[in-house]
Amino acid sequence: MKLFLDTANIEWIRRLNRMGVVDGVTTNPTLVAKEPGEFEDIVSEICREVAGDVSAEVVATTHDDMVAEAKRLASLAPNVVVKMPITPEGLRATRTVSSKGIRVNVTLIFSANQGLLAAKAGASFVSPFIGRLDDIGHRGMEVVEDLVRIRDNYGLKAEVLVGSIRHPQHVLDAARIGADISTMPPEVMMKMMEHPLTDSGLKRFLDDWEKAKKAKPQILR
Ligand code: E4P
C-alpha cells in the first residue's frame, strides 16, 4: 500500500520524505489555508519535493470554472492530481478533464455508491473519508471494504485512497482490506514508527555497550 501525507506543510513533507516513506501528498483548501504563501506556490514547492502524486483541490463549484482551475493546477507540475468534490458539477468536470489526460482524485466520498460514480466518471483516485464517518457514529472502514470489493469485482482503474485517517489502526485496517493508498497527517505517520519497546530496547543496548566499554575497553578496537 502506498503511504501519502495529508498536509501542505513543507517542513513535515521534507522531514518524512527524507526517510523514504512518502509516496505522495494530498492537500485540501483547509490544509493549504494553514500555510503561509500563495496556493499555487505551495503546490509547486510540494511537487518539487515529492516525486509521487500531489493532490491539489479546486475551489470552483461549477463545471466550466472547475475545468479551468483543473487545467491551471495540472499545468503546475506533471505530478499534480486535481481534486474534485463528488457533486454533479464535480463529476461532469471529472469526465471533461480526465478525458483530456488530467488525473483526478474525487474527494469527499462518504458512500461506496459515490465512489462507484466517481470511478465511472473517469477518476484515477476515489477518496473515502473514514474518520469523519467514524466521528458521526458510522463505520468508515465499511466504505473502504465495499470500494475495494467493487474495484476488484469490475477491475476498476480508480485507486482507493483512504482519507481522513486519525490513527495508525486506520492505516493497518486499510492495508488489511487491500486499499491502494492511505493518506494521513504527519503525526499519524510518526506514530506508525513509534513503539515503547523500541525505545526501551535501544536504551538497553546503548547502556550495555557503555558498560562493556568500561569493563573491557578492547571491545572497541
Ligand atoms: C484527504 O484527501 C483529505 O485531505 C483528508 O484526509 C481530510 O481529512 P480530515 O477529516 O482529517 O479533514
**How far is Cα 49 from Cα 146, in angstroms, rounded to an integer?**
34
Instruction: Indicate the average pLDDT of the chain.
Output: 97
Exposed, middle or buried by CB within 10 Å (0-12, 13-18, 19+), for 57? buried
When divided into structural domains, the chain yields a total of: 1
Is residue 37 predicted with pLDDT exceeding 90? Answer: yes
**How far is Cα 143 from Cα 147, in angstroms, rounded to an integer?**
6
Which of 29, 27, 31, 26 shows the shortest CA–CA distance to 3?
A: 26
Is residue 25 predicted with pLDDT exceeding 90? Answer: yes
**How far is Cα 115 from Cα 160, in angstroms, rounded to an integer?**
9
* Ligand 1 atom closest to the CA of 31, numbered from 1: 4
* Residue 55 pLDDT grade (very low, low, confident, very high; cuts 50, 70, 90): very high
Pick the catalytic residue: 2, 83, 100, 203?
A: 83
Distance 12 CA to ligand 1 centre (A): 16
Catalytic annotation present for 83: yes
In the prediction, which pLDDT does 221 show? 65
Instruction: Specify whether the CB–CB gap between 27 and 39 falls below 8 A.
Output: no
Of 2, 5, 6, 161, the residue with max ligand 1 atoms within 8 A of its CB, to mutate for a pocket test, comes to 6
Q: Pocket around ligand 1: residues whose beta carbon is below 6 Å from it?
A: 6, 26, 28, 107, 127, 129, 131-132, 163-164, 183
Q: Residue 130 corresponds to which amino acid?
A: I
The residue range of the domain holding 43 is: 2-215
With respect to residue 117, please indicate whether it lies within any of the assigned structural domains.
Answer: yes
Write the CA distances from 201 to 43, 194, 195, 211, 212, integer angstroms: 40, 12, 10, 15, 17
Is residue 220 predicted with pLDDT exceeding 90? Answer: no
With respect to residue 220, please indicate whether it lies within any of the assigned structural domains.
Answer: no
In the prediction, which pLDDT does 218 show? 82
Is residue 219 predicted with pLDDT exceeding 90? Answer: no
Distance 112 CA to ligand 1 centre (A): 17
pLDDT tens track for 113-135: 999 999 999 999 999 999 999 99
Of 58, 129, 180, the residue with max ligand 1 atoms within 8 A of its CB, to mutate for a pocket test, comes to 129
Handedness of CA 54, 4, 6, 147 (dihedral sign): positive
CATH of the domain at 175: 3.20.20.70
pLDDT tens track for 58-92: 999 999 999 999 999 999 999 999 999 999 999 99
With respect to residue 221, please indicate whether it lies within any of the assigned structural domains.
Answer: no
pLDDT tens track for 92-113: 999 999 999 999 999 999 999 9
